[in-house]
Amino acid sequence: MRTVVCAEPGYMALEHRDPPRCGKGEALLRIRRIGVCGTDIHAYGGNQPYFSYPRVLGHELAGEIIEVGSEGDPKLIGQRAYVIPYLHCGQCRACRKGHSNCCQRIQVIGVHRDGGMCDTLAVPLNHLVVSETLELDQLALVECMAIGAHAVRRSGLVQDELAIVTGAGPIGMGVAQFARECGARVVVIDTNAERLAFCRDKLGIEMTLNPSEDDINAALKALSDDEFADVAFDATGSPAAMQAGFDLLGQAGRYVLVSIVKADISFHDPDFHRKELTLIASRNATRADFDHVTHLMESGRLKVDAMITHRAELADVPEQMPAWCTPATGVVKAMIEISDTPRLFIQRSSS
C-alpha cells in the first residue's frame, strides 16, 4: 500500500509498504480522508513534543471498514467511520478516573505510532465510531472539533460569560463554536485578518480583534465594564501569545491552554494570585467529547465544511506539505483525499 512518511523535519516521502493485518479486536479501515492539523504541521517543522522520526502522520481520519477481526461484528464491513486516535491503557490512574485523554501510557495514532497517511490502517474496534449520517469530510473533522469541545468543557464556561479565544486556526475555530454553544459572548483574537474575516463570515463569530490594528485592552474593557474576560483560551502555538493571555483575564478568571509548545511559559505571580486565576491544561479529548461533537454535527449545529480550504491526493502530500505550512497560502484546513482508484504508485529499485 502507499504510505507517506515524515522521515525527518521538513522532508516527507511516498513509500510502498505491506498492508497491515487485522488482529483480534481490530478492524481494517480503508482511509478515505485525512485532515491535516497543527500537530502534523508542527511535526513536519520539527516543533512537536512527544515526537520521533521517521513517522507516518495523520490522526484526523475517516474511511470505510473493509475487514473486522475476531470478536468483531461483520455487519460493520462497508460502514463509514472516524477514528478516535488516542489509544489508552485503561488501567492507569488517569484512565481509572475517566481521563483517558491523558493516559499515562497513551499512544496517539500519528504521533507516538504510525498514523493514517496511508491506504489502509488497522484500528482497535473500540476506537472506531460509525455514522450513517455524516459525510467523509465531516467524519475526518470530528477529532479536530473534539479538541475544542474538550477545552470548553474543561473551562466550565457558562452562559453570558465573556470568552476570549486567541488563535483563529481550526482548533481555535472549534473552541469558538463550542463556547458559543454554551451561550457565552465570544471574542476571537488573531493577527491574521483573513482568518478573522473567515470567523465572521463563515462561522458567524461577531466579535474579532486584531492586535496589529486594535487596542485589545481597551476593547476588552469596553466589552466587560472594565472587568476583562471570564475565560481565555489559547490556540496559537506561540509561547509569547500564551504568556500574554494571562493579561486578558479578570478576577477569578480561568485560563485554558489548548496549545502545546516546546517552551517554558511564565507569568507574574503577584498578578496571578491577586486575581486568583485558574490555569488549566487541555489535552486531546475523551469519548464523551467525540459523542458531543458527533451529535452537534449530525444536527447541523456546527459549521465545519467551510473550514476545508485546500485538498490534495495522498501521492501529492510530500509536494503540498511545505505550502500548507506557509500562512501566506491561506490554508485553514487541508484535506487529503484517497479515491476508490488511487493513482498507481511504482516503487523504484535502489540499484
136 assigned to some structural domain = no
When pLDDT is cut at 50, 70 and 90, the band that residue 351 belongs to is very low
44 assigned to some structural domain = yes
Domain count, the chain: 2
Clarify whether residues 161 and 276 are in a common domain.
Answer: yes
Asked if pLDDT for residue 76 goes beyond 90, the answer is yes
Clarify whether residues 217 and 265 are in a common domain.
Answer: yes
Asked if pLDDT for residue 282 goes beyond 80, the answer is yes
291 assigned to some structural domain = no
Clarify whether residues 220 and 313 are in a common domain.
Answer: no
260 assigned to some structural domain = yes
CA atoms within 13 A on the CB side of 320: 19
C-alpha 300/C-alpha 173 separation (Å) is 16
Clarify whether residues 125 and 211 are in a common domain.
Answer: no
Specify burial of residue 275 (Cβ count, 10 A radius: 0-12, 13-18, 19+).
middle
Clarify whether residues 85 and 178 are in a common domain.
Answer: no
Clarify whether residues 119 and 159 are in a common domain.
Answer: no
The CATH number of the domain where 92 resides is what? 3.90.180.10
Say how far residue 335 (Cα) sits from the centre of its chain.
13
Q: What is the pLDDT of residues 5-59, one digit of tens each?
A: 999 999 999 999 999 999 999 999 999 999 999 899 989 998 888 889 999 999 9
Clarify whether residues 264 and 309 are in a common domain.
Answer: no
Summary mean pLDDT of the chain: 94
On whether the CB atoms of residues 293 and 146 are closer than 8 A, the answer is: yes
Q: Which residue reads 484500528 in cell numbers? A: 123
On whether the CB atoms of residues 4 and 57 are closer than 8 A, the answer is: yes
Instruction: Count CB neighbours of 30 within 10 A.
Output: 16
174 assigned to some structural domain = yes
Mean pLDDT of 90-118: 97
Query: Omega into 342 within 30° of 0, i.e. cis?
Result: no
140 assigned to some structural domain = no
For residue 324, give its domain range.
2-130+304-337
Q: What is the pLDDT of residues 114-141, one digit of tens each?
A: 999 999 999 999 999 999 999 999 999 9
Q: What is the pLDDT of residues 150-204, one digit of tens each?
A: 999 999 999 999 999 999 999 999 999 999 999 999 999 999 999 999 999 999 9
Clarify whether residues 318 and 260 are in a common domain.
Answer: no
Asked if pLDDT for residue 277 goes beyond 70, the answer is yes
The pLDDT value given to residue 350: 35
C-alpha 66/C-alpha 109 separation (Å) is 19
The pLDDT value given to residue 348: 35
The pLDDT value given to residue 70: 84
The CATH number of the domain where 232 resides is what? 3.40.50.720
Cβ neighbours for 220, distance < 8 A, ≥ 6 positions apart = 162, 164, 187, 228, 229, 248
C-alpha 111/C-alpha 39 separation (Å) is 8
C-alpha 153/C-alpha 254 separation (Å) is 12
When pLDDT is cut at 50, 70 and 90, the band that residue 328 belongs to is confident
Clarify whether residues 316 and 231 are in a common domain.
Answer: no
191 assigned to some structural domain = yes
Asked if pLDDT for residue 226 goes beyond 80, the answer is yes
Q: What is the dihedral of CA 208, 211, 215, 221, to 10 degrees?
A: 50
> For residue 28, which of 128, 132, 107, 114 has the smallest C-alpha distance?
128
On whether the CB atoms of residues 3 and 15 are closer than 8 A, the answer is: yes
Asked if pLDDT for residue 112 goes beyond 90, the answer is yes
Mean pLDDT of 61-82: 94
When pLDDT is cut at 50, 70 and 90, the band that residue 72 belongs to is confident
Clarify whether residues 223 and 113 are in a common domain.
Answer: no
Clarify whether residues 242 and 185 are in a common domain.
Answer: yes
Share of the chain above pLDDT 90, in %: 90
96 assigned to some structural domain = yes
The pLDDT value given to residue 154: 98
Clarify whether residues 266 and 213 are in a common domain.
Answer: yes
Q: Which residue reads 476508490 in cell numbers? A: 340
C-alpha 150/C-alpha 86 separation (Å) is 14
The pLDDT value given to residue 51: 85
CA atoms within 13 A on the CB side of 343: 10
CA distances from 17 to 31, 92, 121, 322 (A): 15, 34, 12, 24
